[in-house]
């Protein structure tokens, strides 16, 4: 079995439980451990208490947006991708990889693998 994310510890910030569980299952199948968070405060607490190799952030959450989470990840130099059904990203975040919903799970895996690849 191909495990492109073997040994990686990932954060999933997604307020839709079905999407979060599906994404978590796919990332685990790809070799990662994946911790879901459904709200900003929960995600920020996890970032303070754990070290993640990378993260997947839904831009629009039920309790607001994920830009504060993005800032916290940036401050730790943790790479992340945005995942959203909305096609606009706030200025200052356009350098972050963006994946549109609906997405193919393999697309998320490939984006994370690219972010986590050793830099030449």
Asked if residue 48 is part of any domain, the answer here is: yes
Nearest to 67 by CA among 86, 49, 108, 50: 86
Asked if residue 79 is part of any domain, the answer here is: yes
61 DSSP 8-state letter:
E
Q: Whole-structure pTM over 0.85, yes or no?
A: yes
Read off the pLDDT of residues 88-106 as tens digits, 9 standing for 90 and up.
788 888 889 999 988 898 9
Residue 63 belongs to domain spanning: 9-112
Residue 44: the pLDDT is 97
In terms of pLDDT, which residue wins out, 84 or 69? 69
Asked if residue 2 is part of any domain, the answer here is: no
Read off the pLDDT of residues 9-29 as tens digits, 9 standing for 90 and up.
999 999 999 999 999 999 999
Q: Into how many domains does the chain fold?
A: 1
Residue 120, pLDDT above cutoff 70: no
Residue 38: the pLDDT is 96
CB distance 74 to 47 below 8 Å: no
Question: What CATH number does residue 56 fall under?
Answer: 3.40.50.2300
């Amino acid at each position: 079995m191909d495990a492109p994310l073997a040994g990686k510890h990932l954060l999933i910030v997604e307020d839709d439980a079905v999407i979060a569980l599906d994404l978590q299952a796919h990332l685990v199948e790809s070799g990662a451990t994946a911790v879901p968070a459904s709200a900003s405060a929960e995600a920020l607490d996890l970032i303070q208490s754990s070290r993640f190799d990378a993260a997947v952030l839904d831009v629009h959450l039920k309790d607001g947006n994920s830009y504060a989470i993005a800032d916290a990840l940036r401050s730790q130099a943790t790479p992340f991708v945005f995942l959203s059904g909305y096609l606009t990203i706030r200025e200052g975040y356009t350098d972050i990889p963006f994946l549109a919903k609906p997405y193919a799970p393999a697309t998320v895996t490939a984006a994370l693998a690219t972010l986590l690849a050793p830099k030449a």
